[in-house]
Amino acid sequence: MSTFKAPKGTYDLTPPDSAKYLAVREAIAAPLKNSGYGYIETPGFEDVALFSRGVGESTDIVSKEMYTLTTKGGSELALRPEGTASVLRAALEANLHKLGNLPVKLWYSGSYYRYERPQKGRYRHFSQVGAEAIGAEDPALDAELIILADQAYRSLGLRNFRILLNSLGDKECRPVYRDALQEFLRELDLDDDTRRRIELNPLRVLDDKRPEVQKQLVGAPVLRDYLCDACKAYHEEVRDLLTAEGVVYEDDEKLVRGLDYYTRTTFEFVHDGLGSQSAVGGGGRYDGLSEMIGGPALPSVGWALGVDRTVLALEAEGIELELPASTSVFAVPLGEEARRVLFAKVTELRRLGVATDFAFGGRGLKGAMKSANRSGARFTVVAGERDLAEGVVQLKDMESGEQQPVALDALVAEIQQKLA
């Protein structure tokens, strides 16, 4: 222990568990890489205004949860609380949308920061893999993204997740609904905070989890009844495409999500083994966001899946990922000469791509064999002075426990053949 601990609401990823996180990131990214999405990386911090304008002043993320800072040069920055606004900003800045190849499809993976009340599944630093498809209004694109997320979760072996789907309408029909909803909500018996929310972001009131609020929301106008014909047709098409591909979803009229930029298609992936922090991922269409941050009209859609909660979901379902052992061969030298000889073999094996490790620190046989065991290596190479005098090393198969002498010159070829 040092004097210091990881800050509140954060945790470290250390071996062997950290391998699971890497595998989850890779599993989520794989279907994207296979579907025309290019990798993008943006800074961990941005101009505060990008988020206040993009995500929305009235959202919890911006009003309560952002880590903001003023630099020595006087810039107002925020650690990124989410990925979409940054990715769109970067795509516009690089003029990716002008290369005549719309939609621009991008994927990313990284750390995000929200000043939240920490609990299981809710952290102040967490990690997401996300995808954005920028510059096309096409229901097949919305469907593609939902299908790819579904595929990612399934490839990990997850089964107890559900897809919630809704349409939030567009700039024609949503304002009409918003007015109707506000009118309804203003008549209810609500606290001052919630009353303020009615004026700022009435759709969020529908999200209120408190039973005394939910009770009053029975009979509230539902967005579905207000969708314009274009939004209705669009939503139908998304649903049909999902159904045709065998992707099961639930219509959820109350799904509004915590970010202001969403229009039309919104969806969330929830896992039933996670308690209150059940959302493992979510996303939707954000047709107006580009204009909100000063860009041209670029209808877009995207999602972000939480890596931390996906790992929790794996644990909840009792899924052990089949992770290949990180080390195939472990070399144990006994004595100075063996150390030099085996170190050279280790380097040679590594150059040939064989995952190999070495007993450092000149420990005795017993301790070194313990490390060999712990490494998960398939083979251990042990060499002492007597072996080397005979021009051999001992090759031990860690699965069968069998050990045999192998000529030093033939060692690398022998190992390659056995591993093949």
Can you give the binding site for ligand AMP, defined by CB under 6 A? 82, 114, 116, 121-123, 126, 128, 258, 279-282, 304, 306, 308-309
* Distance set, CA 102 to CA 28, 97, 148, 207, 233 (Å): 23, 7, 19, 34, 22
| In the complex, least distance from residue 262 CB atom to ligand AMP, rounded to whole angstroms | 10
Q: How far is residue 106 from each of residues 44, 91, 288, measured CA to CA in Å?
A: 17, 9, 18
State the Cα–Cα distance between residues 276 and 274, nearest whole angstrom.
6
State in angstroms the smallest separation of the CB of 270 from ligand AMP: 8
Q: Which is nearer to ligand AMP, 107 or 126 (CB)?
A: 126
Beta pairing class for 329-333 and 379-383: parallel
Minimum CB–partner distance for residue 306 and ligand AMP (Å): 2
Q: Which is nearer to ligand AMP, 257 or 345 (CB)?
A: 257
Tokens of 415: 């190992």
Smallest distance, ligand AMP to C-beta of residue 236, A:
25
User: Which residue's CB is nearer to ligand AMP, number 53 or number 114?
Assistant: 114
Task: Decide whether 122 or 224 has the Cβ nearer to ligand AMP.
Answer: 122
Task: Give the neighbor-by-neighbor strand order of the sheet with 45-47.
Answer: 45-47, 76-79, 68-70
**Closest approach of Cβ 413 to ligand AMP, in Å?**
48
Nearer to ligand AMP, 82 or 144 (CB): 82
Query: To the nearest whole angstrom, how small is the minimum distance from the Cβ of residue 282 to ligand AMP?
Result: 4
Name the closest residue to ligand AMP (Cβ): 306
What radius of gyration do the chain's Cα atoms show? 27
Q: Which residues pair with 244 in a beta bridge?
A: none
CA distances (Å), origin 82, targets 156, 170, 208, 306: 24, 22, 22, 11
For ligand AMP, give the closer residue by CB, 78 or 331: 78
Name which of 241, 79, 236, 82 is nearest 146 in CA terms: 241
In this complex, which beta carbon is closest to ligand AMP, that of residue 255 or of residue 415?
Answer: 255
Residue number with CB closer to ligand AMP (173 or 305): 305
What is the rounded CA–CA span in Å between residue 93 and residue 80? Answer: 17
What is the nearest approach in angstroms of ligand AMP to the Cβ of residue 25? 13
Q: Least separation, in Å, of the C-beta of 382 and ligand AMP?
A: 45
Shortest reach from residue 225's CB to ligand AMP, in Å: 26
Shortest CB 248 distance to ligand AMP, Å:
19
Nearer to ligand AMP, 301 or 381 (CB): 301
Q: What are phi and psi of 328, to 5 degrees?
A: -95, -35
83 to 76, 90, 110, 128, 392: CA distances (angstroms)? 18, 11, 9, 8, 56
Nearest C-alpha neighbor of 52 from the set 9, 28, 73, 82 = 82
Number of residues in the chain: 420
Residue whose CB is less far from ligand AMP, 110 or 121? 121
136, 299 contact by CB (below 8 A):
yes
3-state secondary structure 369-391: HHHHHHHCCCEEEEECHHHHHCC
